[in-house]
Structure 1
Amino acid sequence: MLNPHTSLVALIDVQERLAQVMSDRERLVENLRRLIRGAQVLNLPVVWAEQNPERLGPTVPELRALLEGHRPVAKMTFNCWADPGFRRAIEATGRHQVLLAGIETHVCIYQTAVAMQAEGCEVEVVADAVSSRSPEHKQLALTKLLSLGVRPTCVEMALFELLQTAEAPAFREILSLVK
């Protein structure tokens, strides 16, 4: 089970040029917005990465606006865990349960999940908050990750798992995010 004291969200490469060509872009961005807002309500750290931002542009404005006060980790590696800045940002949180979200599922999400899990992190891929250009590539990556022991989740499942009880102070706010 996810624990609100040991979990974090890693947002990967949801940049303007990449996001334009993703399958079901609007749903992806809306689910990412819900996940980020939920993480903020639950006081989870959000570590944010951008792939080659000079060429691919910044994170989409809908999400960038939620992340004011944070700085993305600029990277060139597909496997985010191989980037020293990203790795330091994750390790600095002191948390080991990672909710991976972003794009592309079959490239950066896949490689990062495999590498992080191999190093002892508990990784869950937020299936409704990841995308690829083709739905087939996304599904192939999720299937392969599952076979390697990386668990899938969805935004609503993860947020309620982190919330733990309807008596939690954040219950109503989380409920309003998922409705």
Structure 2
Amino acid sequence: MLNKENTGLIVVDIQGKLTRLVHESNALVSNCEKLIKGVQALDLPILWLEQNPEKIGPTVDELSSLLSSPTGHQEPIIKYTFDGCENAQFVEAVKAANVDTWIVCGIEAHICVYQTAISLKRMGFEVQIVSDCVSSRELYNKNLAIKKLVNNGVELTGLEMCLFELVKDCRIPVFKEILVLIK
């Protein structure tokens, strides 16, 4: 089970025109918005990756506005390798976040999300892929990535499941904020 005291979020490469080409792109962006807002309400660390933004474009406005908002206070970590863990700045940020579990969302599931999640797992972190917050251009590739991730010890979760695991108790003040996001 996820625990808000030791969990953070990694947002992988939800950028430019590619975002609009992935399977069920509107649902992906909407779900990632809810996930980011929920994680921000819970005051968890968030790391944000962009793959070669000069060529692919920046993170889509819906998400970059949340991530760079006064509650977000961050800039993306730029990378050129598909695996975010090949980037020293990212690895440093992962370690500095002082959590042992990462929930991961982003695109493309079978490339950057897959490689980054596998490397995080190999570094000793618990990793959970938010299955309704990842996608690829082809559904087949998303499904293949999920299957390989699970076979390598990465867990699956969903948007609602992870947020409610992190909230734990309907009596805490942030519960109502999370509930509004889900409805």
Q: TM-score range by the shorter chain?
A: over 0.9
SS for the counterpart of 1:5 is: helix
CA distance in 1: counterparts of 2:20 and 2:170, whole angstroms: 37
One-letter code of the match for 2:171? E
* 2:114 partner amino acid: Y
Partner-residue secondary structure (3-state), 1:14: coil
The code of the aligned residue for 1:18 comes to: L
The one-letter amino acid of 1:42's match is L
Structure-1 separation of matches of 2:40 and 2:123: 26
Q: Give 1:88's aligned residue.
A: 92
Amino acid across the alignment from 1:151: E
RMSD of Structure 2 on Structure 1 (CA) = 0.7
What's the offset of the Cα at 1:149? 1.2
Matched, 1:73 2:77: yes
Q: Tell me the TM-score normalized by structure 1.
A: 0.98
Are 2:169 and 1:165 equivalent residues in the alignment? yes
Verify: 1:100 aligned to 2:104, yes or no.
yes
- Which aligned runs of 4 or more in structure 1 are off by greater than 4 angstroms? none
Matched, 1:19 2:23: no
Identical aligned pairs, as a percentage?
42
Residue 81 of structure 1: how far off its partner (Å): 1.2
2:108 corresponds to 1:118? no
2:99 maps to a residue whose letter is R
State the alpha-carbon separation in 1 of the partners of residues 67 and 104 from structure 2: 16
User: Which residue of 106, 130, 135 maps to 2:134?
Assistant: 130
Q: How many residues align?
A: 179
Match of 2:47 in 1: 47
Q: 1:167 Cα deviation (Å)?
A: 1.2
Of 29-38 and 167-176, more deviation after overlay is shown by 167-176
Secondary structure of the residue that 1:126 maps to in structure 2? Answer: strand
State the alpha-carbon separation in 2 of the partners of residues 85 and 130 from structure 1: 23
Deviations 1:46-100 (A, max 9, x none): 1000000111110000001101231000000111111111111111111110001
Residue in 1 that maps onto 2:37 = 37
Q: TM-score, normalised by structure 2?
A: 0.96
Q: CA deviation at 1:17?
A: 2.4
Q: Distance in 1 between matches of 2:16 and 2:54?
A: 11
Provide structure 1 residue ranges, at least 5 long, that are not aligned to the other structure: none
How far apart, CA to CA, are the structure 2 residues paired with 1:148 and 1:51?
24
CA deviation string 1:72-129 (max 9, x = no partner): 0000011111111111111111111000100000001111111110110000000000
On the 8 A contact 2:16/2:58 being kept in 1, the answer is yes
Task: Provide the rounded CA distance (Å) in 1 between the counterparts of 2:105 and 2:162.
Answer: 12
SS in 2 for 1:167: coil
Q: What residue ranges of structure 2 are gaps of 5+ in the alignment?
A: none
Q: 2:119 is aligned with what amino acid?
A: A
